[in-house]
Chain A
Amino acid sequence: MHHRKAFTAVAVAAAVGLALTGCSGGGGSPEASGPVQLTVWTGFTGGDAPGYEQIVKDFNASQSKINVTMTAEPWDTIQQKLPSAWLTGQGPDIAAPAPDPNVIAQYVETKSVLPITKTGTGTTDINVDSFAPALVNEFTYDDTLYAVPANYATLSLYYNKALFQAAGISSPPTTVDELKADAKKLTNGDTYGLVLADNNTIQMWPVLQWLEGGDVVDSKNCSVLGTAEGKASLKPWVDLVVNDKISPVGLTGAEADALFSAGKAAMEINGPWAAPGYKSAGIDLGIAAVPKATNGKPVTLGSTAPLAISAKTKHPDEAQEFLAYWTGKAAQKTFSLASGFPSLRTDLADDPDLAADPVVSIFASQVPDSRLYLPQVPKGTQVDTDAYVPLIGNLTRGTSLDDATATASTTIDQITGCSS
């Protein structure tokens, strides 16, 4: 009788303990036999999601010692869960922590991510030398690589052929002056010429600034928004939005996309992930390179999401082997063809199959001229949310150029610790 009571008490205590600590027996526990199980968390839920799923499927089919399970949740959820999950050893072996490459700095600081060491030129190595150099720099801290790019996207100019035709414009703009003129001409009571999102979006305004010869910060991470070039790069676009109403004010990325999908906007600067949605919305879709800047040179935004390995993974070698496969030539070619993304590898630039694909080729052709947004700027995410987004919001709602850029510059310099 006593024994049974004691046993029951222990069982109840154990159950409560397990429930309280949230143990469910999952999360990378070593298998007695069979393949090594790797878990991957990502936030890839858009039109490009099937491309990533294909990489995982092909990897699992290509060998029998590692089995990868990938789950995709919204980026917000990943960003909330991952820091503590990795800290407590409950998290996945591999994760794409955020769509913002800057976020890796945070995980390096907390020693949550494993240095990538299995690099080389073999097919089971991570071919770092074949990646676009900007990507390697972005994920290197103190000469150590901490993540690999999960993808690399450039932004192109999407345009609605039917609206162009109706306005009597025969071809998409190729220079920034044509872009401005077309945006104005395509704006009428029903439609907006060039729809611009300024928050919760892939950055569109920095591209406009680059086109006009301006920038956000200099090499010392000090704001250059208040300089003559900085203001001159913002002014024409602010005027077009405020006076000529080429775009509604204060749009999120999703709202801008919805306007373009609904045929209420003639142009939008966006990444390859948007193409499937626009096509299924029935838009008579054209995709062109972002027009050339005022100095005659092409420029666009490049964007990448990092893939990093947990410092607490039990399978560091297998995890790196998977990343080698993900970023390898075969997987990347399949992925580009499935998703329309350009390749993150330079050795696929001249691939005939990719060059023949009308969508991939336009995005790929802009890779050499693409720039990352705030690369390796300390607290880059905060610079965006606390300074750049409010700057554009203020300007497009009528704040003077001098006041808005002065405020943004003070905030940026404070955040980055700029000391010019």
Chain B
Amino acid sequence: MSTLTRVRGPQTRPRAHRLRIPPAWLFIAPSFLILGVFVLWPILVSLWYSLHDWTIGADDQPWVGLDNYVALTQDAKFWGALLHTAEITVVSVVLIVILGLALALALSRESIGNRIIRSAFFFPTVVSLTSIGLVWRFLLDPELGLVGGIMSSLGLGTVGFLQSPELALPTVIFVNVWKNAGFVMIILIAGLKGVPTERFEAARLDGAGPWQLVRFVTVPALRPTLLFGTLIMTIQSFQLFDLVYVMTGGGPLFSTDTLVTLLYREGFVNFQTGYASAISWALFLVIVVISALQLRIFRYNDVD
């Protein structure tokens, strides 16, 4: 017996060593592989493209160094697109979060009526941006749409919301807010359910009014949820494409051009792949900086 155990000892040890690769790694390996191939690799390749005068399929891809980035800084359309992207993001996110919070506070109590109203507000979230864009575009058609019809029957005359360079961007922002406020409302309601009722009781006993309850109990307790909602909405607004593409195509007169519609046009219509890649990197850097700032402002790592 004693010999047997001595022999078995060294044999089993290497096996134990081999099994040391944590199984967790094996489980996440497929996800890593897919992320690597479909996310990381294209990101790196686009950086490589952006340093060339790249034409998909050409034999010769001339190296231009940072010329594409220099050209960006001198391109009025790029700055216009950046400005519109910033306007869409700032105005949309602020309105979406405020509206979402207001709706969440108003509709958080469970009742059949509240559930129906919540569903109505949440419904646009489920529909694709393309469908929403098409429907709104039709509704807003000054000659044939419902909105135009109502306005002219009220004697207000027709307004080309999407044909006017001044009104097109606010209109796109309005539809973006309309679509997303319901989503933020739902996640904030979920967040509200997690706030212990004792805090409200304690605050009330201390003499807090309704506004003070919101200001000093609800909002601080919702901070992680608000951070999540703000971050997601910010990134989504920066990347807004479908809605703009379907509703205005970046027009009229480039007044709703965003970074993504611009890079689409440069890449897929004008076939300037290198230049389009440079735009995508500019967008990437903007999103990284803004996200870092938001994490900082909301003090994500701060433990209450």
Show the binding face of A for B, using Cβ within 8 Å. 16, 20, 79-80, 83-84, 86-87, 106, 109-112, 199-200, 248-252, 255, 258-259, 262, 264, 379, 381-382, 385, 389-390, 393-394, 397
Contacts and interface: CB of A to CB of B under 8 A. Distances in A.
Nearest to B249: A200
Contacts of A382: 269-270
Given A106-B271, A248-B142, A390-B254, A112 B57 contact: yes
B141 interface: yes
Nearest to B137: A255
Given A106-B271, A250-B160, A262-B144, A199 B249 contact: yes
B251 A393 contact: yes
A382 B276 CA distance: 14
Given A79-B269, A248-B143, A109 B58 contact: yes
Interface range, B side? 20 to 34
B165 A397 contact: yes
Given A110-B58, A249-B163, A251-B163, A16 B252 contact: no
B39 interface: no
A255 B248 CA distance: 12
Interface string B43-64: 0000000000001111100000
B164 to A, nearest CB: 8
Nearest to B162: A250
A262 B145 CA distance: 12
B19 interface: no
B223 interface: no
Q: Is the interface of B mostly helix, strand, loop or mixed?
A: loop
Nearest to B57: A110
B269 A84 contact: no
Interface in B172-195: none
Contact of B268 (A79, A86, A251, A252): A79
A80 B268 contact: yes
Contacts of B249: 199-200, 252
Contacts of A389: 251
A20 B268 CA distance: 24
29 contacts: A16-B33, A20-B33, A20-B34, A80-B268, A84-B57, A86-B57, A87-B57, A106-B55, A106-B271, A109-B55, A110-B55, A111-B59, A200-B249, A248-B143, A250-B160, A251-B163, A252-B249, A262-B143, A379-B270, A381-B270, A382-B269, A382-B270, A385-B265, A385-B270, A389-B251, A390-B253, A394-B253, A397-B252, A397-B253
